[in-house]
Chains A and B, each alone.
Chain A
Amino acid sequence: DAGVTQSPTHLIKTRGQQVTLRCSPKSGHDTVSWYQQALGQGPQFIFQYYEEEERQRGNFPDRFSGHQFPNYSSELNVNALLLGDSALYLCASSSSGAKNIQYFGAGTRLSVL
């Protein structure tokens, strides 16, 4: 049983570019959440998707957007990249029937130069 998978593992972009990160949830999970983890910090919640809708959103600008597909996989898009967007981006999946247990992928390391 595959866990949460994210792609790519690493990514290097330059300021002003756009990036798309991908996440496949654990089998049986229907909810996907995205977090940003800056170096030496705890993860910060970006947003959560359920039934292809954004259900909750953290304190991130509109440059950060997402999508969930009918198979529950998800994408995180970041436009107009800034140097400060350099971070580890973590995807977590959960089942709507299980109380709050989120399982994380290994993350995508984004470097903005």
Chain B
Amino acid sequence: GNSVTQMEGPVTLSEEAFLTINCTYTATGYPSLFWYVQYPGEGLQLLLKATKADDKGSNKGFEATYRKETTSFHLEKGSVQVSDSAVYFCALSDHQGNQGGKLIFGQGTELSVKP
């Protein structure tokens, strides 16, 4: 079945460091891919998305490119801030056509950014 695998955390970085969080997926067909972020005590917020191969999603300095050949959707940011500290989830949608399907999540990667 479809699945998502993320690099294990926690990831600890200094402010202004470069961030990469790896995400690979297994899926039949052409799923949409997402990154969600969860701040302490809160629900999930959509960070960015990509709906087809070679699409690049971007938001708030974060980027991820849908790589079908390597089945990957790695999250990157050039310069992290303390406020980026959160848990990041990679997800794919198991959808049919334009009907919203279930989201399948990775296990999450905790990011801690130190001043």
B94 to chain A, nearest CB (A): 8
Give the residue of B43, B93, B100 whose beta carbon is less than 8 angstroms from that of A96. Answer: B100
Query: Does A100 lie within 8 Å of B107, measured CB to CB?
Result: no
Give the residue of A33, A96, A97 whose beta carbon is less than 8 angstroms from that of B103. Answer: A33
By size class, the interface of chain A is 20 to 34
B83 is an interface residue with CB less than 8 A from chain A: no
A59 to chain B, nearest CB (A): 10
Give the residue of A33, A100, A104 whose beta carbon is less than 8 angstroms from that of B32. Answer: A100
Given contacts A41-B108, A42-B107, A56-B102, contact A103 B46 (CB under 8 A): yes
Query: Does A31 lie within 8 Å of B105, measured CB to CB?
Result: no
Residues of A within 8 A of B95 (CB): 99-100
Q: Complex formed: what's the CA distance from A43 to B93 in Å?
A: 13
Interface flags, B4-25, vs A, CB<8A=1, else 0: 1000000000000000000000
Residues of A within 8 A of B105 (CB): 42-44
Query: Does B102 lie within 8 Å of A104, measured CB to CB?
Result: no
Query: Does B99 lie within 8 Å of A43, measured CB to CB?
Result: no
Residues of A within 8 A of B89 (CB): 42-43
B45 is an interface residue with CB less than 8 A from chain A: yes
Q: Complex formed: what's the CA distance from A41 to B109 in Å?
A: 10
Given contacts A41-B107, A42-B108, contact A96 B46 (CB under 8 A): no
Residues of A within 8 A of B101 (CB): 48, 56, 100
Other than A43-B105, A102-B100, give 12 A-B pairs with Cβ distance below 8 A: A40-B108, A45-B104, A56-B101, A58-B102, A90-B43, A92-B103, A100-B95, A100-B101, A101-B46, A104-B44, A107-B42, A107-B43
* Across the A-B interface, the 6 shortest Cβ-Cβ residue pairs: A42-B105, A45-B102, A100-B93, A104-B44, A104-B43, A106-B43
Interface residues in chain A, defined as those with a beta carbon under 8 Å from any beta carbon in chain B: 4, 6, 31, 33, 35, 40-45, 48, 50, 55-56, 58, 90, 92, 94-107
